[in-house]
Amino acid sequence: MNHTNKRRAVIIGGVRTPFLRAFGDFTPLSTIDLGVAAVKGLLTKFPIAWKEIDSMIWSGVVLPSATVNIGREILFDLGLPMEIEAYTITRVCTSSLCAITLAAAAIERGEADVMIAGGSDSTSNAEVTMPQSLVHKFAPVVLSPKSTVKDYFKLLTKLNPKKDLIPQRPAIRERLTGELMGESAEKMAVRNQIHRKAQDIYAMQSHQRAARAIETGRFASEITPVTLPNGKQVFADNIVRGNTSLEKLAKLKPAFAKNGTLTAGNSSTLTDGAGAVLLMEFEKAKSLGLSPLSQFRSWSYDAVDPTDQLLIGPAISMPKAVHKAGMTRKDIDLIDIHEAFAAQVLSVLKVLGSDQFARDRLGYNKAFDSIDPKDINIHGGSVALGHPFAATGARMVITMANELKLSGQSTALLGICGAGALSAAAVLEAV
């Protein structure tokens, strides 16, 4: 272990599964299965001796209640050495970025030399739970060894079919405000005067760019094929609509408010997928004969008020991350922002151009920049590719790290918003 010189955490590379619309071909795969596919693909692409792996940090948003530490289960299913420790985190949509930067921090601190970090989500397998009142009524009877058949019959008479037997439909709803995330985004669209047309234009841009990236094979080296239980192999993302048009998008009905502007077309959709990244200490990578691809110059994790523009956080995190890196806007070559909703991205861009915002919320003299929506997300984003919650951060890191190498540019700024009004940003640098 490099204890003498300053330790550097570098990204060797990453791999993701195809991102499929929920309730499609990935339905029989649990989040653990998807994670297994991603990590297996990672270790196929970077064949290191398994004994070199120190630990893993995995992440998920829809976590199965019976096995919350899915990272550890992924290791078991892959047959990796049991001595590799693994923990699982959740930081809503910023989860895998968070897992990856936690791994980088651990390597820098000397806790490990080789780590795997990533995230997976199977939205198709979100648990639908029975009301808790059912558990409260059943548990005393079921857990008592003295219960008789008569006790069970009595239990049935005490049940209220409406309150105890009807499961709750899962929804992406803020506990604090009771709002669906789409409703919050709808409010942001109104507050920032982001019109329907602007949202549809942006959504179309995302789809067209993602489609071109797929056609030109840009994602080929980043995606690992997944074999389904029935033997079929899945190779590609299936949500992208390269042939979409403004007319088609305009026909869609508002999804979150009467006379609203957000539709299924300009919002990200429920998706299944996973992504994994391999990180190492710089000297260790060299000793294993691997070339580093990228490293983190900085990151910033922040929170804003959920009752006042739930998803505006990236407008705080992105300038902060750049500032922490000792850089300015001019030093950033590529910008990649997670597209929860076109309206949310456009709101963030709008606010990033406000001097007042920079002064009052960040304490900087001038706005970050007036960014044209065309100048971000060069290969499309979550609106087109889908958003398996915990895998999105990994997807962005992998694509941007590769893009820096392919294009010869130096820096990329990533920004992600999340439920609970959390946000994250990171500055990646080519090595």
Dump the DSSP string for 193-216.
Answer: T--HHHHHHHHHHHHHHHHHHHHT
**Choice among 93, 98, 207, 338 that is catalytic:** 93
Q: Does the annotation count 93 as an active-site position?
A: yes
Cβ nearer to other proteins, comparing 64 with 353: 353
Binding segment toward other proteins, per CB under 8 A, in 42-50, 168-176, 329-337, 356-364:
356-364
Distance CA 23, CA 39 (A): 22
Closest separation in Å from C-beta 336 to other proteins: 23
Residue 405's CB: how many other CB atoms inside 10 A?
A: 15
Q: Among 103, 351, 416, 427, which residue sits at the site for other proteins (rule: CB under 8 A)?
A: 351
CB of 328 to other proteins, least distance (A): 20
417 carries an active-site annotation: yes
How is residue 123 annotated by DSSP?
Answer: G
- The identity of residue 299, as a single letter, is W
Q: Give bridge partners of residue 424 from the DSSP assignment.
A: 301, 416
Crossing angle of helices 196-215 and 342-352, in 10° steps, is 110
Residue 329, class by beta-carbon neighbours within 10 Å (0-12 exposed, 13-18 middle, 19+ buried)? middle
- Closest distance to other proteins from the beta carbon of 347 (Å): 7
Which one of residues 131, 242, 254, 353 is an interface residue with other proteins (CB under 8 A)? 353
Taking the complex as a whole, how short is the minimal distance between the CB of residue 376 and other proteins, in angstroms? Answer: 19
Say whether residue 356 binds other proteins (CB under 8 A).
Answer: yes
Residue 179 Cβ vs other proteins, minimum distance, rounded to whole Å: 13
Using CB under 8 A as the binding rule, the residues of this chain from 296 to 315 that contact other proteins are 305, 308-309, 312
Residue choice 347, 402, 411, 423 for contact with other proteins (CB under 8 A): 347
Residue 283, C-beta contacts closer than 8 angstroms, at least 6 positions apart:
2, 5
Q: Radius of gyration of the chain from Cα atoms? A: 23
Helix (H) or strand (E) holding 418: strand 411-418
Q: Rounded distance, CA 388 to CA 367, Å?
A: 32
Of the candidates 193, 171, 177, 179, which has an alpha carbon nearest to the alpha carbon of residue 343? Answer: 193
Q: Within 13 Å of residue 257, how many CA atoms lie on the same side as its CB?
A: 17
Under rule CB under 8 A, residue 361 binds other proteins: yes
Determine the distance from the C-alpha atom of residue 112 to the mean position of all C-alpha atoms in its chain, rounded to a whole number. Answer: 24
The values of phi and psi at residue 110, to 5°, are 90, 15
Among residues 3, 178, 231, 360, the one that binds other proteins under rule CB under 8 A: 360
What is the rounded CA–CA span in Å between residue 284 and residue 2?
8
Site pattern 243..282 for other proteins (x: CB under 8 A): ----------------------------------------
Stretch of 196-204, 219-227, 349-357, 372-380 lying at the interface with other proteins (CB under 8 A): 349-357
What distance in Å separates the CA atoms of residue 192 and residue 223, rounded to the nearest whole number? 36
Question: Which of 177, 354, 409, 410 touches other proteins by CB under 8 A?
Answer: 354
Stretch in the footprint of other proteins (CB under 8 A) among 2-10, 188-196, 318-326, 333-341:
188-196
Six-digit token pair at 411?
Answer: 């820096």
Q: CA–CA separation, 320 vs 16, rounded Å? A: 28
- Cβ proximity to other proteins: between 347 and 392 the closer is 347
Instruction: Determine the Cα–Cα distance for residues 377 and 107; give it in Å rounded to an integer.
Output: 29
The one-letter code for the residue type at 246 is L
**Smallest distance from the beta carbon of 346 to other proteins, in angstroms?**
12
Q: Which stretch binds other proteins (CB under 8 A): 80-88, 197-205, 216-224, 348-356?
A: 348-356
341 lies in the site for other proteins, by CB under 8 A: no
Using the minimum distance from each CB to other proteins, give the nearer residue, 181 or 312: 312
Size of the site for other proteins (CB under 8 A): 20
Given the residues 207, 338, 379, 387, select the one marked as catalytic: 387
Cα distance from N-terminal residue to C-terminal residue, the chain: 21
Q: Position 218: which residue type?
A: R
Identified catalytic residue from 207, 338, 379, 417: 417
Point out which span in 95-103, 174-182, 209-217, 352-360 binds other proteins (CB under 8 A).
352-360
Candidates 94-102, 110-118, 187-195, 322-330 — which segment interacts with other proteins by CB under 8 A?
Answer: 187-195
Positions that interact with other proteins (CB under 8 A) = 188, 191-193, 305, 308-309, 312, 347, 350-351, 353-361
Could you list the active site residues?
93, 387, 417
